[in-house]
Amino acid sequence: MSPTYDVIVIGLGGMGSAAAHHLSARGARVLGLEKFGPVHQRGSSHGGSRITRQSYFEDPAYVPLLLRAYELYEELERATGREIAVLCGGVMVGRPESGPVAGSLRSAREWDLPHELLDAAEIRRRFPTLTPGDDEVALFERKAGLLRPENTVAAHLQLATRRGADLHFEEPMTRWEPYRDGVRVHTAENTYTAGRLVICPGAWAPRLLSDIGVDVTVERQVMYWFRPGGGVGPFLPERHPIYIWEDAAGTQVYGFPAIDGPDGGAKVAFFRKESVPTTPETIDRTVREEEVRAMADQVARLVPDLPGSFLKAATCMYSTTPDEHFVIAPHPAHPESVTVACGFSGHGFKFVPVVGEILADLTLTGSTAHPIGLFDPARFTAASA
């Protein structure tokens, strides 16, 4: 006889682990299925750090979700004793009309978020590691900072297990199908049934969610770590903020303080520079010397001491919708039994805990009080009609 659950969660990375936690915390009998091991490095929930911020330049509609996510970060830390959020402050740097500056200012003013506008001289005074051009400014947000992605996933898995969730690793789903009033899920090891299914496929969305009417693309991205020329002291979180910088050509770079000791360096990356379409099976995980040079040359314009010596690099995958907004919704063809969540890469990890809460809402009650209209996949079919 097939094992039966209330909810089966497919994918236990950032969003799936949070969904498993929130579902099990509400008393649901949860099965989680993951293709790889716990807290793996093969998807998009790794790399040691992710930026978090509230003055959201992508769209002010995200701000209420961020405010709730911040509350949930704190709850997660208290419940597990793990470091999740390091709120070291952050600067969005560029010309006044640049996306990070103008967009962040719009959100900050619309939601009355604490912030400061700094001219180039004030940026240099407060943060001596940064050397913006004279025509550049910054929006400073004290509540910005970084998240520990591996700790976040591990914490959600820990709490889900504590609440009785049955988490299976190295057991990928092979297929699923409607079954009676719910679903039936097949793996190489077993067949399971449940009343509801939650699919959080990450970079596997093009294959697992090809029927929801959304063209999710997967791109190779690279993260870099450098040892600053003068050591990591000036780059510690109490002295050096997270930053997103857009230059006059529109190239964006983002970076972090040094959070992993004297040998850990400081992390930096391009945002969507020369993105190369890929798949989880074909991604090129080799980082070449010319890529390292391009990163060092670009970041040295704002943070001249950072690229003292190259330490390491790692690849990850961005899975993105055409408008770069998320998909969080009931499955268009199976709204009563299946909930989907995808297209988060580039700016999604900071929402992990609140997305888990939303997925639990949708799965157990059919609705959520959180504002998620922006994430309805019907926006793409309506646009093409």
- Residue 383 pLDDT class (50, 70, 90 cuts): low
pLDDT at residue 37 above 60?
A: yes
**The predicted structure's pLDDT at residue 382:** 66
pLDDT at residue 184 above 80?
A: yes
pLDDT single digits (tens) 70-125 = 999 999 999 999 999 999 999 999 999 999 999 999 999 999 999 999 999 999 99
- Residue 384 pLDDT class (50, 70, 90 cuts): low
pLDDT single digits (tens) 210-226 = 999 999 999 999 999 99
pLDDT more than 90, % of the chain: 92
For the chain, the average pLDDT equals: 95
3-state secondary structure the chain: CCCEEEEEEECCCHHHHHHHHHHHHCCCCEEEECCCCCCCCCCCCCCCCEEECCCCCCCHHHHHHHHHHHHHHHHHHHHHCCCCEECCCEEEEECCCCHHHHHHHHHHHHCCCCCEEECHHHHHHHCCCCCCCCCCEEEEECCCEEECHHHHHHHHHHHHHHCCCEEECCCCEEEEEEECCEEEEEECCCEEEEEEEEECCHHHHHHHCCCCCCCCEEEEEEEEEEECCCCCHHHCCCCCCEEEEECCCCCEEEECCCCCCCCCCEEEEECCCCCEECCCCCCCCCCCHHHHHHHHHHHCCCCCCHHHEEEEEEEEEEEECCCCCCEEEEECCEEEEEEEEECCCCCCHHHHHHHHHHHHHHHHHCCCCCCCHHHCCHHHHHHHC
**The predicted structure's pLDDT at residue 143:** 97
**The predicted structure's pLDDT at residue 175:** 96
pLDDT single digits (tens) 228-248 = 999 999 999 999 999 999 999
**The predicted structure's pLDDT at residue 276:** 74
**The predicted structure's pLDDT at residue 41:** 87
- Residue 1 pLDDT class (50, 70, 90 cuts): low
State the Cα–Cα distance between residues 160 and 147, nearest whole angstrom.
20
Whether the full predicted model's pTM is greater than 0.75, yes or no, is yes
pLDDT more than 70, % of the chain: 98
